[in-house]
């Protein structure tokens, strides 16, 4: 993907053809989630930022991702500057509601203001 081009955030579920991954950690998380919430959605191409299940009382278990690691993915994969990656995350990821099984993003590093 060339500089200036933007990849759209896409979501998949456990039954999607894109679900298998070469990342063993992400694969273990997918296996756990298959038992806990087979309807959980995954942020495609952010396997490196996947943290694990997010359990909430009385709510479906979600897949949790690291915001900081996702920013790093965008910088490394797409050649974005930090501020550009944060802006992309804020608009395209945190602003993407796909229903009650939408992944959760742990803001483990505050964006630069």
Tokens representing 85 are: 């990656």
Taking the chain (113 residues) in consecutive chunks of 10 residues, what is each chunk's mean pLDDT?
Answer: 48 57 88 96 94 96 96 95 94 92 89 53
Residue 42: CB atoms within 10 Å: 25
d(CA 38, CA 16): 11
d(CA 105, CA 102): 10
Half-sphere exposure of 9 (CA within 13 A, CB side): 23
DSSP state of 17: T
Please give the pLDDT value at position 25: 92
The domain limits of the chain are 11-106
The pTM (predicted TM-score) of the whole model is: 0.80
Please give the pLDDT value at position 36: 95
The residue length of the chain stands at: 113
């Amino acid at each position: 993907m060339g500089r200036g081009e933007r990849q759209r955030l896409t979501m998949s579920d456990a039954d999607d053809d894109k679900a298998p991954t070469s990342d063993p950690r992400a694969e273990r998380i997918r296996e756990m989630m298959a038992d806990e919430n087979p309807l959980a959605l995954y942020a495609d191409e952010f396997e490196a930022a996947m943290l694990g299940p997010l359990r909430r009382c009385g709510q479906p278990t979600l897949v949790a991702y690291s915001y900081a690691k996702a920013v790093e993915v965008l910088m490394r994969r797409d050649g974005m500057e930090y501020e550009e990656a944060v802006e992309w995350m804020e608009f395209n990821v945190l602003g993407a509601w796909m229903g009650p099984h939408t992944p959760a993003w742990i803001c483990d590093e505050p964006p630069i203001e």
